[in-house]
Amino acid sequence: MNTTSTLIAIGNTLGRILDRLIFIALNNTRRFDQIDRAIEDFRREAARAATLASVERSDYAHEINLKLDRLIAATLPGPAVTLYLELFDEAGNITDQGVLPMQANISRNSSRTFKLTPRDSDQNVTTLDGAMSVESANAAITLADLSVDGLSGRLVAGTKAGSGPVSFHGDADLSAGVREVAGSVDITVPAGEAVSFDIELGDEVPNQPAP
């Protein structure tokens, strides 16, 4: 195969790799491993083309890297700025959902599983650095347990009626730094139906004689 034919073949390979990157981006699969492999394939083939075409390799590689950086910036999600919360009943049906902060009710002596989804400024699904932390401001009303995946768990209501916030905190900076992303859901545990009542009696007072 002569140099021209080889360059044409490499050009076709580069086109297929770019098609793969665009497919991954448009389908919002967020498969970072696939994107990384496609980028490495692209750089390798571009380096081969530069060598075969006797182009100054460093300049050509620099141009390719700039184009790839722009492609990555356009296709990958940005850092998390909001948290999207979904609450589920025991049957797996969504009972409440929305961007934090929000409000939700949980009946006494019951629970809701939850799922958190970090999103960037364009509402694309993104990732966090490590697991989130969760804290209930009033554990007597609602307990919060986080699963091992760091983005889901369970909110458990006790017997006491009342309300209080449950807060979530995470690190949106995927590098060595820390950029907090946080949100809270205000959980209300309503009182149940009346099944009894209390009565208080005052001090005993003698009856007044009839006139």
pLDDT single digits (tens) 164-175: 999 999 999 877
Round to whole Å and give the CA distance between 36 and 55: 26
Q: What is the pLDDT of residue 65?
A: 64
Alpha-carbon gap, residue 187 to 137, rounded angstroms: 10
Residue 45 near residue 92 (C-beta atoms within 8 A): no
Mean per-residue pLDDT for 179-186?
94
What residue spans define the domains of the chain? 3-75, 82-189
Q: Could you give the dihedral angle defined by the CA atoms of residues 194, 137, 154 and 134, in that order, rounded to the nearest 10 degrees?
A: 170
CATH fold group of domain 82-189: Immunoglobulin-like (2.60.40)
What is the model's pLDDT at position 175? 77
